[in-house]
Structure 1
Amino acid sequence: MRQAVRAYPSDVFPKTINEDENSEFYQQKRDAFLRETTNTPCLRRIPELNKLIDSVVASWYLEPSSISSREWHRIPCRRPLGLAVFNPQTRQLESDLQIVTGRNISVRGISFTHQAHIYSREVAVTFDLDQPVQEFLIVRLAWSRFSEKRTFQSGGQFLSQIEVAAE
């Protein structure tokens, strides 16, 4: 059973948190964000994810089957990303960097669009396209599909973070 909720323009979320009025709530959100990104600290400098801390996001689900396993909401992240195939045994990148386009991001995972099929289950994604040392997030791909726009869309869960010197 789904419940319809009517929202008016003044009720639309996310709303910005006033840090002065809600300092305890803001600090709890900040602490939770820091805990969630312990294994992936480069996520802390991504502006899109910091919006999750500075806003209130609400969802309502009456059906248990519709509840996502994500503990945080996804937020749009439409920007160029670098992607390479990752070998979990050697912990090395095994392909040249390919440019893909981000779609959504959360503290637990990411989705992106790309032009060619990815034949690996684990990939490395970077936001640091112009940096001498690139921080890569290791992602275990959970899904992939071919869209009507003739591009692939894939997404998965963050596993860890590594650093690689740019070539």
Structure 2
Amino acid sequence: MRDMIKVPARESVSSRQIEDAIRELSPDKRTAFLQETQKFPCLRRIPELNKLADSIVASWNLEPFSLSSRRWHRIPCERQIGLAFFDPKTKSLSAELTIVECRNLSIEGISFFHDMPILSREVAITFDLEQTEREFIVVSLAWSRFSKAHLFQSGGRFLYQIGMDASLSETG
């Protein structure tokens, strides 16, 4: 959720003013974070997202606030995640897990790098690579592009969270 503090041009801001603003905004932002991640409780375990919920993010983009469709900032997230192909009709996951590289993350969505094109509009991702029981978030892919580095980059919005055991397909 974007919080804005207006400071008149060329007026300096004291560290005391910044600390007061952080104290004032942090409890509300933390509450909003917990409320908006009710559908995706596994996101609450990601340290980068917790830092986002507890901090004020400054933006110097010239983009007018009213034109932005994002309620939460994206943050860089350089970690490996698991991707499983998901059949939206049968609500089943493929048994094969592909490791991809997360690029950035928000409470509402994700973007990641991958080697091969993805032919489905919905995939499931997991952050629990070291766990024996994994939780997945189904992502509706909104875009994909091919980079100069010969990698695909895709991104989309989170739809809902599922457990691996409840919807695992026997076909891989």
| Alpha-carbon shift at residue 135 of structure 1 (Å) | 0.5
Are 2:127 and 1:136 equivalent residues in the alignment?
no
Q: List aligned pairs for 1:16-95, cutoff 5 A.
A: 22=23, 24-59=24-59, 64=64, 67-94=67-94
Distance across 2 between alignment mates of 1:66 and 1:80: 34
Are 2:156 and 1:160 equivalent residues in the alignment?
no
Distance across 2 between alignment mates of 1:80 and 1:64: 33
What value does the CA root-mean-square deviation take over the aligned residues? Answer: 2.9
The number of equivalent residue pairs is: 153
SS of the residue aligned with 2:164?
strand
TM-score (norm 2): 0.79
Judge conservation of contact 2:40–2:161 (CA < 8 Å) in 1.
Answer: yes
Distance across 2 between alignment mates of 1:80 and 1:99: 6
Are 2:118 and 1:118 equivalent residues in the alignment?
yes
Distance across 1 between alignment mates of 2:30 and 2:103: 24
Judge conservation of contact 2:75–2:105 (CA < 8 Å) in 1.
Answer: yes
Query: Comparing 78-87 with 64-73, which one deviates more in the overlay?
Result: 64-73
| Alpha-carbon shift at residue 55 of structure 1 (Å) | 1.2
Judge conservation of contact 1:138–1:159 (CA < 8 Å) in 2.
Answer: yes
Distance across 1 between alignment mates of 2:56 and 2:65: 24
SS of the residue aligned with 1:133?
coil
Q: In the alignment, what sits opposite 2:6?
A: none
Structure 1: state its 5+ residue gaps: 1-5, 12-16
Letter in 2 for 1:98: T
Structure 2: state its 5+ residue gaps: 1-8
Q: In the alignment, what sits opposite 2:105?
A: 105
Letter in 2 for 1:101: E
TM-score (norm 1): 0.81
Judge conservation of contact 2:26–2:55 (CA < 8 Å) in 1.
Answer: no
Letter in 2 for 1:55: S
Judge conservation of contact 1:61–1:67 (CA < 8 Å) in 2.
Answer: no
